[in-house]
Each structure stands twice: as structure tokens, then as C-alpha cells.
Structure 1
């Protein structure tokens, strides 16, 4: 552990120049006393490092000195790919490895490029999860990630709405979707996705497996997302909409449903209305989705959905016509 910290200290000094002991202590998560002990250890090992006392002083390397300890380990090389997603790296147990890898990359850059890279890191931050997203509890994630790195089969206990099931899975990839982790794994001949927060237990079986030669995680995930979105669109209705308000469909419908509606859209009639096919999970969901368009949309069929919206409109008209605005309670 100390050897790794000494390398990290050396790389910090090489990339940043003069650094105060308290700053180094905060970066390395150690005490100031430990920083000075580590500086003494580097000096004893022949590294030309020294301290400058007083205001504006700090710890620095002799001008012109550059270490050759910039080669990335295999774990650090893996972690670099997660450089824009520090939370994901931390979830996978690669947070410290990522920090060291980034230092090595910065140390290998010439001064002018190093400064540019540092400025970008100071000015751009990627926050992947959506607003109001609460991180899920994923106690099995570290075990799953370790099996993934080493191509080891997993015995998992998975929670579903109808109970729990056990599965033997070959982990092929992990995907973080808006802050939620999913495991893409092979079960028998099928490749499926499993929400990691629902994996109650995960244990390596001791068996290794061979990854499919033609498997590409990004391509598989994109296709699986598209297929899942389409599978949720179980009901359809024909609707006429004022073409000027078609854009409002995105307020009440999933992107896949909006895409299907736009693909089905007819040419505008003389009054500027178009006919589209709307899709949703159920008719109640479809009814709620069309409400934001108000008087700018009309369901044509099926008749039962048209009747449902007529009842909703009548109930709203009755409620809002019950009293004048002057009688309404203050907001």
C-alpha cells in the first residue's frame, strides 16, 4: 500500500510542481506527518525531492527531473476508460486505481498538453444519473465485476415480482443506465439483462467460460433497449392532431412511441391536421399521454378509448364550470 502511495506522491509532484504538505495529505488521504515521512523515503531512494519553507513554499522535485514510472498497469488501463464516470469507477472498486492512472497519464504529457487536460477536468464534469435519482443498493456488484474481469461463471439468486429464482450466469458486461447498474449475461443459449440491485446473492462457481467471439456489449445493449421499448407498446390508437402541436407528443409518450407516431404521420389536410398512430403500454396510459395536447388532438379509434376521453373531458368541464374563478380558494 505504501509503495503505491509513494508512486502516487511522486507523480503528483511531477504533474503539479510545488505542492503544499496539507494539499498532498488531502489528496493522498493521509496525515501531514505521513506526507513528510513519505518525502523522506523518496529522498532516501534517490529521488531529488525537497521542501521549501515559509509562505508560498511546499514540496517539489528538482527542476528537470522526470520519473519513468508512468507505465499503466492492466487495471489502470481498464480504469482510464471510466475517466468520465468516477462514480461508476468507484462502484466497480476502481476509484483509487483510476486516480493513479490519471496521474500517470498526466505525468506522461508534455507541460502544455498537461495544462490543457487539467483545465478541461476543472471545467467539465459528467453527472450521468438523472435528477431525483436515488442510487440503488448493489451489494453484489463487486463480486459480479470480479467475475466479469476473469470470465468466471456465477451462481445468482435473483428477485422478481413473482418471487426469487436461481440462475447460472456467464457475465458478459455491466451497463450503467442513468445511474442504475445492469448485468448483461448469458444463461444457456440466451443473453439477457438483469438489474444488479435485484441480484440478492452472487457467488463464483469456480468454472470459467468462453466469451462469444461476436459479442459486442454496446451493440447488444442498443438493440436490447430498442426491443424492450417496443415490447412495452402493447396498445395502439388512431388520432388526429393539429400539425403545429405534434411536437407536444414528447410530453406524454415514450421516445419509441413518438418515433412510431412520426413514422405513421399522414400529410396535413386542408385544416392543417394530420393522422398518426399512437402506441402505449395500456389504454389508460395512452389516454393520459394525449391529455397534454388538449383541444389540439382527437382520438378516432378505438371507440372505447374515445369514450373514455369524452368522460374525462366532461368531468373536467363539470368540475371547472362548477364555480367561477372568483369563488376558487387561493393557491
Structure 2
């Protein structure tokens, strides 16, 4: 790991010129103390890196210094393949590897092309954190240790054991044969087989994870697209509460973050949206729609409308009379 970091440090200095220890620390995702130790190690190894003092100071390499440092390691190649699939972002815990790989790709280009590629990269932005309505992209947090263990088990073909906290339930231990990882709308899922049955797990609900030495029992080749489509179809066919709602477009993403699935969606003449969605049960639907206030209206089923009306009546009665006294 340190060797890869030292290579990345040299490439950063070659491509960007002078950089402060703070800037290097941000790029390499380490502390400034680690950067200073790495700079010292490079100097000891004969790499001509020097420090410039003052307000605009930092670390730099002697002009013209080059070394063959462009070989891709396994994770860097994997990161590039993930991005090349047209579905890759900063996912599956590969963001650091992706940054390192891209620096090596740029460094391998002819000197005359490096500047134009760097300029082009600054003019392309993929999936910013907010859209034009200032709505932030919601991405579920996954512990780095969990992601690393699960990803390693998927790629090496080993069983994985984890503690899984399903909705409103205490964590329970599971041992599965992993098939693949899928990321959809900021949520990452593990597709697996457990005791001969297909299973799908959200990584954000894994408390711990450990790759086992035992080989996984799974097919040698896999079509994740097909498997995901099949599991989605089965999921939609399960016995959940189906709800028909009208909602303002500005609150759509909030609704989608709460539902289990979306069955249909179409615009309404008044610029609202009509969606058919599924929830776990009536309690889940009441909780989710209550958060959206008057920006959403439940059209069906009647049981949901009654439940929301009763809750609203209870709240209105609570505030009907002003408080007396100081």
C-alpha cells in the first residue's frame, strides 16, 4: 500500500507541479504527517523532491525528472474497468484506486497531450452532489471495512459472513455464497445464495463482514443484468402495500427514498406526478407520506387515506385551543 502511495505522490508532483503537504494529504487521503514521512522516504531513495518555503511554497520535483512508474495494479485496473462499464462512479470502495489509476493513465500520455487531456477533464462533470433544484444526491453509507471484505469475497469467490440488521430487527449473522455487487440510486446490494436460495442484502445494513477461506458455491459465469431483472420482478410480485399517490415533482426524490419499489409513474395536467409505489405495510406508508405534508396526496387505498386523515385530525385537535398561562 505504501509503495502505491509513493508512486501516486511522485505522479501528482510531476503532473501538477508544486503542491503543499495539505493538498497532497487530501489527494492521497492520508494525514499531512504521513505525507512528510513519504517525502522523506522519496528523498532517501534518490527521488529529487525538494521543499520551497514561503506563502506560495510546497513540494516539487526537479524539472525534467521522469521514471517508469505507470504499471497498473489489480485494484487500479478494476477501477478503470468499472468506470468503462458506463455505470461506474465513486462506488464499491474504489475511489482511491480510481484516482491513482487515472494519474498513471495521464502520465503515460505523450507530454504534448497531457495538458489537453487535463483541460478536457476539467470541462466534464458527472453526477454532481446536487441538481438544479438544490436537491442533494442521497447515497447510503457503507463501512469501509464491510465494503472491502464483501468486495474481496465477491471477486475471489469465497464465502462471506456478516451481521445483518434488517429493518426494525436486531442484527443476525448470515453466511452466504456471494454472486455480485449492484449499485442502484446510491444503494449497494450484495446478490448472493444462502442455503440454496437467492438472497439480496443492502450493504448499508451490514454491521460487520468477514471474508472466509471456504470457496463459494456459485456458477463460474454470471449475468448480473439478467439476475437483477429477475430479482426485481420477484420483489415487485411480493405481498407489499401498493399505494397510488399524487406528488409535487420537487418532492419526488424524497418519496422514492422511502418506498420499496416504483411500479408506474406519469405526469398529471397540473404538473404534479402520479406514482404507483409499494411500501412494507400501512404503518410504513403513513410514516413516509406524513413527512411530505401537503406536497403529496394518497389516492388509494382507502385505508391509507383514513389513517392519514385520523392522524391529521388528532394533531389538529391537539392544537385547536391555545395554551393558557405563562
Map 1:204-283 onto structure 2 (within 5 A): 204-216=212-224, 218-221=225-228, 224-225=231-232, 227-228=234-235, 231=238, 233-234=240-241, 246-248=246-248, 259-260=263-264, 262=266, 281-283=280-282
SS at match of 2:61: strand
Moved more, 146-155 or 18-27: 18-27
Deviation per residue, 1:175-229 (Å, 9 max, x gap): 455665432112354331123434655351432545352421x553455346435
Corresponding residue of 1:14 = 14
Residue 111 of structure 1 corresponds to which residue in structure 2?
114
1:142 aligns with one of 143, 148, 153: 148
In structure 2, C-alpha distance between the alignment counterparts of 1:99 and 1:21, rounded to whole Å: 18
The match for 1:59 is: 60
Give the Å deviation of 1:158.
4.6
Partner deviation per Cα, 1:45-79 (whole Å, 9 max, x = no partner): xxxx465867667523434x654432312221113
1: CA distance, partners of 2:116 / 2:12: 16
Report the CA distance shift for 1:222/1:85 in structure 2 as closer, same or farther (over 3 A): farther
Where do 1:40-55 residues align within 5 Å? 41-43=45-47, 49=48, 51=50
d(CA) in 1 for partners of 2:281 and 2:171?
Answer: 27
CA distance in 2 between partners of 1:287 and 1:96 (Å)? 41
Farther off after superposition, 30-39 or 307-316: 307-316
Q: For the Cα contact (< 8 Å) 2:263–2:278, is it kept in 1?
A: no
Are the aligned partners of 1:22 and 1:32 in contact in 2 as well (CA < 8 Å)? Answer: no
Query: Is the 1:19–1:60 contact (alpha carbons within 8 Å) kept by the matching residues of 2?
Result: no
Structure-2 separation of matches of 1:7 and 1:170 = 36
Deviations 1:109-150 (A, max 9, x none): 4223332255258x7675599678774557544332222221
Say whether the 8 Å CA contact 2:177–2:193 is kept in structure 1: yes
Cα distance change, pair 32–154 in 1 and its aligned pair in 2 (3 A) = closer
Residues 306, 7 of structure 1: alpha-carbon distance in 2 compared, 3 angstrom cutoff: closer
Task: Identify unmatched segments of 5+ residues in structure 1.
Answer: 44-48, 269-274
Equivalence map 1:41-190=2 (5 Å): 41-43=45-47, 49=48, 51=50, 59-63=60-64, 66-80=66-80, 81=82, 84-85=89-90, 88-89=92-93, 94=94, 96-109=96-109, 110-116=113-119, 119-120=122-123, 126-127=128-129, 135=141, 139-156=145-162, 158=164, 167-176=174-183, 181-190=188-197
**Kept after mapping to 1: 8 A contact 2:149/2:209:** no
TM-score by length of 1: 0.60
Deviation of 1:309 (Å): 6.9
Aligned to 2:39: 35
| Structure with higher helix content | 1
Pick the aligned partner of 1:193 from 188, 195, 200.
Answer: 200
Larger radius of gyration: 1
Structural RMSD (CA): 5.2
Secondary structure in 2 aligned to 1:42? coil
- Structure 2: segments with no counterpart, 5+ residues: none
CA separation of 1:166 and 1:182: change in aligned 2, threshold 3 A: same
Instruction: Provide, for residues 290-330 of structure 1, a one-character-per-residue CA deviation record: whole Å limited to 9, x for no partner.
Output: 99679x9876x76x66766776687688778x56xxx699x
Residue 25 of structure 1: how far off its partner (Å): 6.9
